[in-house]
Amino acid sequence: MTPSLSTRLAHAGRTADVQGGQPVNPPVVRASTVLFDSVAQQREMRTRRDSERLFTYGARGNPTNFALEDMVTALEGGYRTRLFPSGLAAAAMTILAYVRPGQHVLLPDCVYEPVRNLANGFLRQHGIATDFYAADGADLQARLRADTRLVYVEAPGSLAYEICDLPAVAAMAHAHGALVAADNTWGSGVLYRPLELGADISLMAATKYLGGHSDVMMGTVCTTEAAWPELAAMTDAFGMTVSPDDAYLVQRGIRSLGARLAQHQQSALTVARWLRDRPEVADVLCPALPGDPNHALWQRDCHGTNGLLSFTLRTRAPVAPERFVDSLGLFGIGASWGGFESLAVLADMRRARSVTDWSGHGVVIRLHIGLEAVDDLLADLAQAFDAIADLASTEQESSHVDHR
Ligand SMILES: *Cc1c(COP(=O)(O)O)cnc(C)c1O
């Protein structure tokens, strides 16, 4: 019997090579210079290091980082992994590794906003053409071009958790000679497995659930064997590396990933159902909820949900979302998610999307449900609804417009 993922993560990445007993955790190896016995050995290591994973210089990785790479490879089910200083760096470097000036990239309408900005700014300035396709992939076939080199996927997507049919997207892209890179930050390698669904490259912001404690920035990219050489060449050319202390923190976070995600899921589902039944709420965006437009694909392709959900208020009073979030006591107001703590942010969907019309929703409130007791979180949300009750009563009649 193959052990389950949580079991494998408890045991993976123990690459200690010491005399005597073995530590449970790999040591933190801080190194720039690595010493060799002879010039001949150094020469030999240098000729082999492009194809083998060898400890030859700090910028080429070190044993702590290698152990984390192995854990991420186990999570993603891929060939090998490289580490980047942030999730955004992982996304940007992935595009630069595979796409040349004069080529074309397709990005989903639900893409993490800084990647959208990268496409519209830096990539275009450097001669890489970019277009956006509908988050469900409906118009992808029509947007594929002869020079499309990469189809970028984010499923479930940022803020509204749209899910595309990744096997179908991959089949279309591959038929056009394009590669598929997926941002798997939502799934964290546990809830969604893009490489098994047809993607060639899967990247994650380890800053989120892998680190899990809001104290480290990192990105990971794992690929199939066929896609590996281009990623490795780019990483080496740019000198991309991370601190072994940070690699150690992410590795420590991953040990409890399965248990944390199970708790995030349970509490987030409780909050999602509770919000759905509140009279002040127009829409709850959470693919794990029956009735969500992405529920069928979530059931087919995902292995659970995490602590994320978004919702919109029925009142159209412009001050309502901001007053609601300001009234929360236990939810922090801050970017990112995936740590142990609950967070709330506002997102204007009219600005965050360019292909699909989200004017019916306007501003959504994005919650990250942390590891606090869920009854305390519900009580906090309830008192925030009380704080906007006067706004709701005057604007109650404006009903939700279904735009999808
Ligand atoms: C946060 C996030 C990133 C970027 O990660 P950083 O480590 O913050 O740079 C990329 N993709 C998604 C979907 C994210 O949520």
The per-residue pLDDT for 393 is 57
185, 221, 306: residue to mutate for ligand 1 pocket, most atoms within 8 A of CB: 185
Q: Which is nearest to 337 in space by CA: 387, 384, 268?
A: 268
Q: How many CB atoms lie within 10 A of CB 78?
A: 25
Name which residue leads in pLDDT, 17 or 279.
279
The reply to whether ligand 1 has any atom less than 6 angstroms from the CB of 270 is no
Rounded to the nearest whole angstrom, what is the distance from the C-alpha of residue 34 to the centroid of ligand 1? 32
The reply to whether ligand 1 has any atom less than 6 angstroms from the CB of 207 is yes
153, 208, 215: residue to mutate for ligand 1 pocket, most atoms within 8 A of CB: 208
Rounded to the nearest whole angstrom, what is the distance from the C-alpha of residue 112 to the centroid of ligand 1? 7
Which whole number is the average pLDDT over 339-364?
A: 93
The reply to whether ligand 1 has any atom less than 6 angstroms from the CB of 157 is no
Distances (CA, A) of 145 to 111, 119, 158: 20, 17, 25
Name which residue leads in pLDDT, 17 or 66.
66
The per-residue pLDDT for 77 is 95
Q: Which helix (H) or strand (E) holds 309?
A: strand 308-313
Distances (CA, A) of 13 to 10, 83, 287, 369: 9, 15, 32, 29
Alpha-carbon Rg for the chain, nearest whole angstrom, is 22
Give percent above pLDDT 90 in the chain. Answer: 86
pLDDT in tens, 29-45: 999 999 999 999 999 99
Which whole number is the average pLDDT over 149-169?
A: 97
The reply to whether ligand 1 has any atom less than 6 angstroms from the CB of 205 is yes
Rounded to the nearest whole angstrom, what is the distance from the C-alpha of residue 272 to the centroid of ligand 1? 23
pLDDT higher than threshold 50 for residue 402: no
Average pLDDT of every residue of the chain: 93
* CATH class as words, domain 5-30+61-255: alpha beta
pLDDT in tens, 162-209: 999 999 999 999 999 999 999 999 999 999 999 999 999 999 999 999
The per-residue pLDDT for 5 is 80
Which pLDDT band, with edges at 50, 70 and 90, does 9 fall under? confident
Which pLDDT band, with edges at 50, 70 and 90, does 401 fall under? very low
The reply to whether ligand 1 has any atom less than 6 angstroms from the CB of 185 is yes
Which whole number is the average pLDDT over 212-227?
A: 98
The reply to whether ligand 1 has any atom less than 6 angstroms from the CB of 88 is yes
Task: Output the residue whose Cα is nearest ligand 1's atom 5.
Answer: 87
pLDDT higher than threshold 80 for residue 160: yes
Distance CA(8)–CA(182), nearest Å, equals 23
Task: Output the residue whose Cα is nearest ligand 1's atom 4.
Answer: 87
The reply to whether ligand 1 has any atom less than 6 angstroms from the CB of 305 is no
pTM tops 0.85, yes or no: yes
Tell me the domain boundaries of the chain. 5-30+61-255, 257-399
The per-residue pLDDT for 394 is 53
Least confident of 9-23, 82-96, 287-301, 332-346: 9-23
The per-residue pLDDT for 400 is 46
Which whole number is the average pLDDT over 121-142?
A: 97
Superfamily grouping for domain 257-399: Aspartate Aminotransferase, domain 1 (3.90.1150.10)
Same fold yes or no, 5-30+61-255 and 257-399: no
3-state secondary structure of 240: coil
pLDDT higher than threshold 70 for residue 18: no
Distance CA(47)–CA(52), nearest Å, equals 9
pLDDT higher than threshold 50 for residue 403: no
The per-residue pLDDT for 80 is 96
The reply to whether ligand 1 has any atom less than 6 angstroms from the CB of 220 is no
b/e 41-51 (16+ beta carbons within 10 angstroms → b): eeeebeeebee
The per-residue pLDDT for 398 is 45
Which whole number is the average pLDDT over 139-165?
A: 97
Q: Please state the atom number of ligand 1 nearest to the C-alpha of residue 218.
A: 7
The reply to whether ligand 1 has any atom less than 6 angstroms from the CB of 103 is no
Task: Output the residue whose Cα is nearest ligand 1's atom 8.
Answer: 87
